[in-house]
Amino acid sequence: MHPDYISIYNSRHSPTPLFQNSLTITDKKWHPPAKNSVLALFLPLAVGISQVMCRQLHETSMRERHEQWMEKYGKEYKDATEKEKRFLIFKDNVEFIESFNSGNTLYKLDVNHLADLTIKEFKASLNGYKRPLEIRTRTTS
């Protein structure tokens, strides 16, 4: 049996916890450590599970968004590997757009037909015009 009140004094008559790791005293009542340990164990577990579920929901939502985007712009990929690669690029681009739009800016970005391209691919396809060499090297008289 444990007393309802635990009061322990050291030689200087100041309160000192006797079994610091094996019991806790709250409102002068004894609580076994197992109760607190179980709570301490399950609380991070519950938080972790909710974060994983939230990430999975976001991933599912993003995949559905990618499918709708593909249909809207008539995108088709040669195989599942290419589709997964393009999905990951699409996801990164959408997350960048959402992050940018959450800031205080004068304009907003939006998803368009180029959302599955990397920056390098975008530059190569749309900004790739190079004047012929003879025009660049010709001097004016």
The pLDDT tens digits for 41-79 are 666 766 666 665 656 556 778 999 999 999 999 999 999
- pLDDT above 60: residue 23: no
**Position 18 in a domain:** no
User: Which of 62 and 126 is assigned the larger pLDDT?
Assistant: 62
**Position 132 in a domain:** yes
**Position 90 in a domain:** yes
**Position 12 in a domain:** no
- pLDDT above 70: residue 139: no
**Position 13 in a domain:** no
Q: What is the CATH number of the domain that holds 81?
A: 1.10.287.2250
Q: What pLDDT is attached to residue 124?
A: 82
Say if residues 30 and 4 touch (Cβ distance below 8 Å).
yes
- pLDDT above 60: residue 9: no
**Position 10 in a domain:** no
Domain carrying residue 71: 24-137
Q: How many distinct structural domains can be found in the chain? A: 1
